[in-house]
Every structure is written in structure tokens, then in C-alpha cells.
């Protein structure tokens, strides 16, 4: 059903740390790799080795140059995937009921057997989280690796989304935002995690942790400490004698 649940027991999602992300694209590759097998239609590629490659991905990492008012410009890498919004506009526009939000954990999913591939949900999403697979003709989106996180055939440390599991810098955190004591909730509270485009009233579950304030570069000369030596004792005597010689 495309009616959104009024309440979800859990609010599973990601907290993405823009301070630690190095833009290595490992999460993009891990996501594509995991979702090439298992849940739903495989993420296809068209002409992957040709001049004009094209493919379906559920996670993209942008790279921005940000110039603060004071100090040097920074590169900030920005992973972008489904935010599993509480008021997901992609769900309510769906004419067939293929798009839905789960009551138990708040994950937004697509029932591919009911998807007609009209693309309206991708239009409705402000964040570009959905891509229509050109081979299967159905809408693909982040499943929060629903086939990993509850999968008891996997070792416990692997029961988290592939992007989180693979991130070499620990920039992606998975957890329940409905639980104030969860790791992700605490991170958001400590670091001032924020929503993307909150004025569109989608109430995203995923949060972004802002880059930490960088050290302010020293304006003074690196030699500054050497220029004003007040030596005492033997060093002071030596300084005086050498100064006379010079």
C-alpha cells in the first residue's frame, strides 16, 4: 500500500560522516556488488566497456569544493543514497502499490513484481535516490541491504548494509534512529547531524554529520619562535660571545 505508516517501530537508517569520508567510492562498488545478486532484479549495466557506459547504482559519491569564509578550501565527499524518509513522497505517488514503507523498521522498498516502471517515484524524490533499471524496467533503490541485516546465515558482523561494512574509514554508520541510545542517535546528537532539504518536509531518516572545524592555519612565520631567543646560562653566554664575533 502506498499509504505511509503513521508510526514505525524502528527507524533504521544511516548516519554519514562527511568529516571522515575520503571519497574512495568503495561503498558505491560494494553496493553495486551486493545488489547484483540476491534481492530483486540485478543492477544492470548497458555498454559497460563501451564509449558511453551506463548503469544502475543505488549509491553515488559526489565531491564538492567548499570555500569557507576564513582559511583554505576543502574537498568534501558527499555520499548520496535513499534517506528512507518518514514522509516519503516516492511512496504516495506510486499508482500500483509497488513502493512501500515498512511498518516494522521504516525501510522504503519497491515490490518489483508490481512496479510498472512509470518513473513517477523517481520524479517525486528530491534526492535522486531512485534509478530505473534499463534491463528490468523496474525502479531500483537502496534497500538498506534488507537481505543482509536480518540474514542469520551471515556472520553477525556482516549483518549491516554492504556500504557500511565496506567503508574503510568508518564514515557510514547503520542503526535505529528511533532508539535515542543507539550509536547513530548518539552520533547525531554529538555531532549535530542534519537532514537534507528539510523544507521539503520529507523527514529523512538518514542523517549527515557535518565536517568538523578544521585547525586554523598559523598566520605567523614558522621561524617566529627562533627570532626572539632569550637564552640564559651557558647558552646565554655563548650567544653573547658569538654575537660579538659576528
Partner 1 sequence: MKPAPSVILFTVLSGMGFGLLAFLGAGFVQPVGWLAFFHWGLGYGLAVGGLAASTFHLGNPQRALKAFTQWQTSWLSREAWASVLTLVLLAPVALSDWLGLGWPRVTGLIGAVACFGTVFTTSMIYAQIAAVPRWNNWTVPAMFVSFELTGGALLSGQVLPALIGCSALILALYAHKTKGDVAFAKRGQTLGKATGLDQVGSATVFEQPHTSPNYLMREMIYVVARKHIARLWPIAFGAAAILPAVLVVLLPYHLLTFALAALIHLMGAAASRWLFFAQAEHVVGLYYGQR
Q: Which residues bind partner 1 (CB under 8 A)?
A: 1-3, 18, 28, 52-57, 60-69, 73-76, 78, 80, 89, 91-98, 114-120, 122-128, 131-134, 136-139, 194, 196-197, 199-201, 208, 210-211
Q: Indicate the residue among 59 and 148 with the shorter CB distance to partner 1.
A: 59
Least separation in angstroms between CB 105 and partner 1: 21
Measured on CA atoms in the order 9, 82, 14, 26, is the torsion positive or negative? positive
Least separation in angstroms between CB 182 and partner 1: 22
DSSP character string of 149-190: HT-TTS-GGG-S-HHHHH-TT--EEEEETTSTTSHHHHHHHH
Spatial separation of the C-alpha atoms in residues 142 and 39, rounded to whole Å: 11
Least separation in angstroms between CB 149 and partner 1: 25
User: What would the grid cell of residue 158 be?
Assistant: 556482516
Least separation in angstroms between CB 88 and partner 1: 11
Q: Indicate the residue among 139 and 162 with the shorter CB distance to partner 1.
A: 139
Spatial separation of the C-alpha atoms in residues 95 and 225, rounded to whole Å: 71
Spatial separation of the C-alpha atoms in residues 129 and 123, rounded to whole Å: 10
Least separation in angstroms between CB 189 and partner 1: 17
Q: Indicate the residue among 23 and 147 with the shorter CB distance to partner 1.
A: 23
Measured on CA atoms in the order 184, 190, 196, 199, is the torsion positive or negative? positive
**φ/ψ of residue 117, rounded to 5:** 70, 35
Spatial separation of the C-alpha atoms in residues 200 and 147, rounded to whole Å: 30
Least separation in angstroms between CB 110 and partner 1: 12
Q: Indicate the residue among 217 and 246 with the shorter CB distance to partner 1.
A: 217
Q: Indicate the residue among 123 and 150 with the shorter CB distance to partner 1.
A: 123
Q: Indicate the residue among 103 and 151 with the shorter CB distance to partner 1.
A: 103
Amino acid at each position: 500500500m502506498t499509504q505511509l505508516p503513521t508510526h514505525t517501530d524502528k527507524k533504521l537508517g544511516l548516519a554519514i560522516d562527511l568529516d571522515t569520508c575520503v571519497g574512495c567510492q568503495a561503498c558505491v562498488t560494494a553496493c553495486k556488488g551486493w545488489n547484483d545478486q540476491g534481492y530483486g532484479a540485478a543492477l544492470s549495466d548497458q555498454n559497460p566497456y563501451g564509449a558511453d557506459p551506463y548503469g544502475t547504482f543505488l549509491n553515488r559519491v559526489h565531491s564538492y569544493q567548499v570555500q569557507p569564509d576564513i582559511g583554505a578550501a576543502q574537498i568534501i565527499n558527499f555520499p548520496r543514497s535513499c534517506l528512507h524518509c518518514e514522509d516519503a513522497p516516492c511512496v504516495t505517488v506510486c499508482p500500483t502499490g509497488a513502493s512501500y514503507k515498512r511498518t516494522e523498521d521504516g525501510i522504503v522498498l519497491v515490490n518489483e513484481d508490481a512496479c510498472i516502471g512509470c518513473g513517477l517515484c523517481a520524479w517525486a524524490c528530491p534526492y535522486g535516490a531512485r534509478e530505473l533499471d534499463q534491463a528490468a524496467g523496474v525502479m531500483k533503490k537502496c534497500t538498506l541491504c534488507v537481505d543482509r541485516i536480518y540474514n542469520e546465515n551471515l556472520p553477525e558482523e556482516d549483518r549491516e548494509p554492504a556500504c557500511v561494512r565496506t567503508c574503510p574509514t568508518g564514515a557510514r554508520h547503520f542503526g535505529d534512529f528511533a532508539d535515542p541510545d543507539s550509536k547513530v542517535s548518539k552520533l547525531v546528537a554529538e555531532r549535530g547531524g542534519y537532514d537534507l532539504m528539510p523544507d521539503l518536509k520529507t523527514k529523512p531518516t538518514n542523517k549527515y554529520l557535518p565536517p568538523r572545524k578544521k585547525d586554523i592555519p598559523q598566520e605567523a612565520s614558522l621561524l617566529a619562535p627562533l627570532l626572539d631567543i632569550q637564552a640564559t646560562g651557558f647558552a646565554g653566554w655563548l650567544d653573547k660571545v658569538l654575537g660579538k664575533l659576528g
